Structure 1
Amino acid sequence: MTDTSIPLDGVASAPSRWSTSTWLAVVSMAAATFALVSAEFLPAGLLTPMAADLGISEGTAGQVVTATASVGAVAALFANSAIGKLNRKTVLVGLSALAIASNILAAMATDFWLLLLGRAGLGIALSGLWSLSAAVVARLVGVNSLGRGMSIIFVGVSLATIAAPSIGALLSDWIGWRTAMAATAGAAAIAMLLQLVSLPSLPAGEGTRLGDVFRLMGRRGIQLGMLAVLLLVTGHFAGFVYVRPFLEQVTQLPASAVAWALLGYGVASVIGNIAGGRMADTNIRAALATTGTTLGIAALALVLWGSHTGTAFGFVALWGFAFGTAPIVLQTNLSRAALDALEASGSLMVVCFQVAIAVGAVVGGYIVDGLSVAGPLTLAAVLSALTLVLAILQPRS
């Protein structure tokens, strides 16, 4: 397959039945997302030994995650114009190589600033990968199977989100945080090899300038799609970042039971990834409405009946399922409004997602401190309901 070339206009002509080589190419993209997202979330399980080794507070050490997200949001705006007419396979392999180098630098860092530099490199690699993912997957599997293809990519994300913090904590106890960080470089190296072997040549079309990205925002479908990302993702992170204190204070679960509830969330999110792909390919407006409604119901039910253990477990899992569908549905929804500019719409998706994460976490924190632990969940329910309204207004594709 490495000798095959898929031009930019191959999006619409890709076959509906996937060949073995197509499967391998999509899996290589999923492997890359797993490796990079694992590295992104790994510090959650490494903060204590990392902070002690570098002589900094745990709060300061936690800023390595902020650095990754912040650099990624800025880099996403310039990603498409920076890569110009480079072959997209070359770019993807290069991004994996950057992730390898960044993780090695972080693992070898002798002070906090070198650690931040390594994490900034990871942010660039992540933003580049996400900016290109929808366009590359559409060229591999065809636009009519975009949701299905993206669902496989996001299975890698869900697995990384579940595994990285816990495995990182275990590895840091056994072999040290630096070795655990270096292990993510190994995962990125495996992904890079898979990309080299299985991805076809992906020649670029016309280069995308920064002005083209901003002009795309003039389309009604793009505006509604971006607003849907901002509302749903802000609501999710405003609420779910603080679901642990809710479960501890309202449901009165011990830490061990909270861990089981969050594991249920993670497993349900993987199922949501798979379902989200089918939903998005069948009817994107209905998929967006279903995602917003389900997440809103889960958040509101926790506020109303979350004091009961069984109810709390069930609706936390339902929340996981809903947010498992969300990235695939939101990405596919935005992409269908810009089938002629998938890379540019991918950049807008990354920027909106990162901004929503930051806003949601900050606003949720203020509500928790000023009102109650149930407040952020109420906000999540309200913003999810507004997403349902956007789904109704969304143009038919």
Structure 2
Amino acid sequence: MTDTTSQLEGATIELETADQSAWPAATWFAVLSMAATSFALVSAEFLPAGLLTPMARDLGISEGTAGQVVTATASVGAVTALLSNVLIGRLNRKAVLVGLSALAVGSNILAALATDFWLLLLGRAGLGIALSGFWALSVAVVARLVGANATGRGMSIVTLGVSLATIAAPSMGALISDWLGWRSAMAMTAGLAAIAMLLQALSLPTLPASTSNSLADVFRLTRRRGIQLGMLAILLLMTGHFAGSVYVRPFLEQVTLLDTRSIALALLGFGIASVIGNVAGGRMADASIAVALAVTAVLMAFAALVLVLAGAHAGIAFALVALWGFAFGMAPVVLPTNLSRGAPDALEAAGSLMVVSFQVAISIGAVFGGYIVDHYGAIGPLTLTAALAASTVVLALLQPRS
């Protein structure tokens, strides 16, 4: 056992009440290794957004077909999330996390070397398994690293990798693709995953399985009111977000009448605000999860609604897109923390349900948003976002004050 591991395990009890600034160096190192992993995995997930054209041209397929590599990752992730708790059994969770990072390395290499669409799809499916397994374990592992009372702040650091990857991955992928080709961009994500794997191996303490769940155990959790409310909150808020956020650019083009450079600045503001919201969400979630959920939903509903009503004004549109980004930055911290409060004795099983809820919400949001924008224009999806986020506010009022 390493010195880092010994220090971290010895500090576990103290962390239940310790402030974030009082975390020992070993804890910071372990949590940051989880953040590095989230950055590596989500970068690989979003990378194809900037690579579709050269990827499709090289493999001799349409851009629409190439876009299915993203769908494959999400679909496989949704299925394996339910099975992950069963498959890992009583394996040491550190070994599982390092193994998932190794799978991401191999999957990204396979995608980079793919000579046809089916090999590319296989590589992306492997990434989906790594993603779902990591996120299914994330809340439980972070709670063990920093203590239950600081789970929100710990998750805010881990999900900071998501915010940074969301901002950087598409543009970074497009830049590297133009310079060295799309395969080099894919290979870069394998390198990121390898670095994350090394950091996990060096920093995570040994994490013996605290429980072993069957598929029946996972489904049994859905009978708990806290889990039901937590899953419904994810489904409502994230369906709303992904139904509308994909069409923010068309809205800014058609309603606000911004040029390409101005739209890029607005989306950059969204990304920067999401990083700030990520940090704020962690602190608020630890103080009161019900208030944190309500604030997240209120801000998103307000931003989307006022965009619909007054988004023709450029200054208002810029401010509201940033506000939406702030709310979205809070969501990946607040929503999993909220769900975990419904099953503090079964965090890993709850993590599986969390991943499934997110993946289903992403899929439903994409379908609904696409249908509405085709029939009602760019304002339609944002109206749906406002309605579903407002519904989440009502749901937050049913949460126990904690």
**The TM-score by the shorter chain falls in which range?**
over 0.9
Give the alignment partner of residue 124 of structure 2, picking from 89, 98, 119: 119
Is 1:47 the equivalent of 2:62?
no
Residue 15 of structure 1 deviates from its aligned partner by 4.8
Cα distance in structure 1, aligned partners of 2:24 and 2:8: 15
Q: CA RMSD in A?
A: 1.5
**Match 2:263 to one of 258, 264, 279:** 258
Q: Check whether the contact 2:38–2:161 (CA below 8 A) recurs between aligned residues.
A: yes
What is the aligned partner in structure 2 of residue 174 from structure 1?
Answer: 179
Alignment of 1:147-226 (within 5 A): 147-226=152-231
In the TM superposition, 1:270-289 aligns within 5 A as: 270-289=275-294
| 1:231-276 CA-partner distances (Å, limit 9, x unpaired) | 0000001111111111100001112211111110000000000000
Give, as a single letter, the amino acid of the residue that structure 1 aligns with 2:272: V
Task: Give the SS at the match of 1:217.
Answer: helix
Which amino acid is the alignment partner of residue 326 of structure 1?
A
Matched, 1:374 2:379: yes
**With structure 2 as the length reference, what TM-score do the two structures score?**
0.96
Among 35, 40, 65, the residue aligned to 1:60:
65
Q: 2:334 aligns with which of 326, 329, 332?
A: 329
Aligned match of 1:133: 138
Contact 1:11 1:140 in 2 (8 A): no
Q: Are residues 395 and 156 of structure 1, via their aligned partners in 2, closer, same or farther at CA, if it must alter by over 3 Å?
A: same
Q: How many residues align?
A: 396
Letter in 2 for 1:313: F
- Match for 2:147 among 142, 160, 178? 142
Q: Are 1:11 and 1:143, in contact at CA under 8 Å, matched by a contact in 2?
A: no
How far apart, in 1, do the equivalents of 2:139 and 2:322 lie?
27
Distance 2:267 2:81 in 1: 30
Q: CA deviation at 1:13?
A: 4.9
Corresponding residue for residue 237 of structure 2: 232
CA distance in 1, matches of 2:185, 2:138: 27
Amino acid at match of 2:343: A
Bigger Cα displacement from structure 2, 250-259 vs 161-170? 250-259
Aligned ranges 1:17-56 → 2 under 5 Å: 17-56=22-61
Unaligned runs of 5+ in 1: none
Q: TM-score, normalised by structure 1?
A: 0.97
- Shift of residue 327, structure 1, vs aligned partner: 1.3
Gaps of 5+ in 2: none
Q: Cα offset for 1:206?
A: 2.3
For 1:280-319, what aligned pairs fall within 5 Å after superposition? 280-319=285-324
The Cα shift of 1:396 comes to 3.2
1:380–1:106: structure 2 CA closer, same or farther, 3 Å change rule?
same
Contact 1:288 1:388 (8 Å CA) reproduced: yes
Cross-structure match for 1:340: 345
Shift of 1:395: 2.4
**1:383 equivalent in structure 2:** 388
- Segments ≥4 residues shifted beyond 6 Å: 9-12
1:73–1:355 Cα contact (<8 Å) kept: yes
Tell me the amino acid that sits aligned with residue 101 of structure 1: G
Give SS of 2:61's match. coil
